[in-house]
Homo-oligomer: A and B are copies of this chain.
Amino acid sequence: MTSFAIVGHLARTDGNFSINDLPGSGGRMDILCRCVNASLFLSHDLRRDVDCYLVLLGAPSGPKTVKFSGASVRSLSPDERSAAALIKKVIDVPCGSEFREGADGVSIRKGGLERLAQDMPLAVLDENGEDIRKAPALPGAFLLSDHLNFTDAENELVRDCPRYSVGPKCLHADHTITVLHNELDRRMSGWK
């Protein structure tokens, strides 16, 4: 099982955003939708052993976390609007601090990064981290940020987490996930 968690610092936390304007009205929800795609899609198949957590920190409802479970998600296509439509479907589902499913394989709970860090040991993607190709072993849960850097409070939360880099260039979160998958795929298949 591999997990990816992406912090959406401005990502809207209710359904009051337009599928036709994910960058603006969604608070860069487009980035999170591309991360869902990068996390879960193979060509003509889904990665059933992957979960993708979207940590939504924008207006108006405080932190919420949406979980896409590769094992059970349905009706997901690779385009941004498809993931966005599923986010919109679950985002106003009444929920507490435990995940509640609002669509097949898509669930939501209150709470953000602090809550998530209690659930699983996160590794942080960081330009100055250890090269993923050089690491003797790779962990199972990775944390990434959207177009904004982690805040000081977030950095404090993950201060002791291991840090990894995917390469010499600074990449978008979804591209980083794709490169990570490639390294994990190679290790699983003996291609390394």
Contact of A168 among B23, B31, B44, B186 (CB under 8 A): B186
Report if A30 contacts B (CB, 8 A): yes
Contact of A185 among B43, B169, B172 (CB under 8 A): B169
Contact of A179 among B22, B178, B188 (CB under 8 A): B178
Contact A191 B79 (CB under 8 A): no
Residue of B nearest to A41 (CB): B172
Contact A43 B172 (CB under 8 A): yes
**0 or 1 for each of A163-175: is its CB under 8 Å from B? (1 = yes):** 0001111111001
CB distance from A19 to the nearest CB of B (A): 8
Contact A185 B170 (CB under 8 A): no
**Interface core residue of A43, A181, A185 (most chain B CB under 10 Å):** A43
CB distance from A46 to the nearest CB of B (A): 12
Report if A105 contacts B (CB, 8 A): no
Residue of B nearest to A191 (CB): B168
Report if A189 contacts B (CB, 8 A): yes
Known: A167-B191, A168-B186. A79 touches B23 (CB 8 A): yes
Report if A131 contacts B (CB, 8 A): yes
- Contacts of A58 on B, CB cut-off 8 Å? none
CB distance from A2 to the nearest CB of B (A): 13
Residue of B nearest to A30 (CB): B79
In the complex, A116 Cα to B42 Cα: how many Å?
Answer: 28
Residue of B nearest to A190 (CB): B168
* The 6 nearest A-B residue pairs measured at CB: A168-B189, A30-B79, A43-B170, A178-B178, A175-B178, A179-B182
In the complex, A146 Cα to B38 Cα: how many Å?
Answer: 16
Report if A34 contacts B (CB, 8 A): yes
